[in-house]
Amino acid sequence: MEAVGGWCTDCGKPIRAGAVLYTAEARPVCPMCFTRADVSVRRRAVFEGWSTALIGAIANAIPLVIDAMGAWMVAPAVASAGRRDWVALVSGVVAAFCGGATVLEARSRISGRWLVIGALVALLGVYHAVRGAGLAW
Ligand SMILES: [Zn+2]
């Protein structure tokens, strides 16, 4: 006979004494429900970081695509350095913001991989913004 340690607040099944686990809200749950909750939390964390990083990555890609199109259609002399590039400036600010948000999100969840991705998105965004403002290159 195994002693019952409590009842799962998620599925209502009795839990063996010693097998009781607690959620972040200190609710007793069985190991099955604990694993399921843990997985769903982790999946949501990945999705949140992923969507913010993706917006930043797209914002970073826009000036690169326009640059590539411009190099094709416009003579290189026309696209001279020092000209204010509003697309690069705005895209860069958006990308830097999204990258920063990804870094903050990753820091709160201690996710090293997303910390690196967020930092890269933010750095590339700052580069676009600086270049778009005509301050460098
Ligand atoms: Zn359960």
C-alpha R_g of the chain: 24
Is residue 15 within 8 Å of 28, Cβ to Cβ?
yes
Instruction: Judge whether 109 lies within some domain.
Output: yes
CA end-to-end span of the chain, whole Å?
76
Instruction: Judge whether 81 lies within some domain.
Output: yes
Per-residue pLDDT tens digits for 84-137: 677 788 888 888 888 888 888 777 766 677 788 888 899 988 888 887 777 755
Ligand 1 center from residue 39 Cα (angstroms):
14
Instruction: Judge whether 137 lies within some domain.
Output: no
Instruction: Judge whether 90 lies within some domain.
Output: yes
Instruction: Judge whether 124 lies within some domain.
Output: yes
Locus of tokens 């416009």: 74
For the whole model, what pTM was predicted?
0.51
Ligand 1 center from residue 43 Cα (angstroms):
19
Ligand 1 center from residue 26 Cα (angstroms):
14
Ligand 1 center from residue 105 Cα (angstroms):
29
Ligand 1 center from residue 44 Cα (angstroms):
20
Instruction: Judge whether 97 lies within some domain.
Output: yes
Domain that holds residue 91: 4-132
The tally of domains found in the chain comes to 1
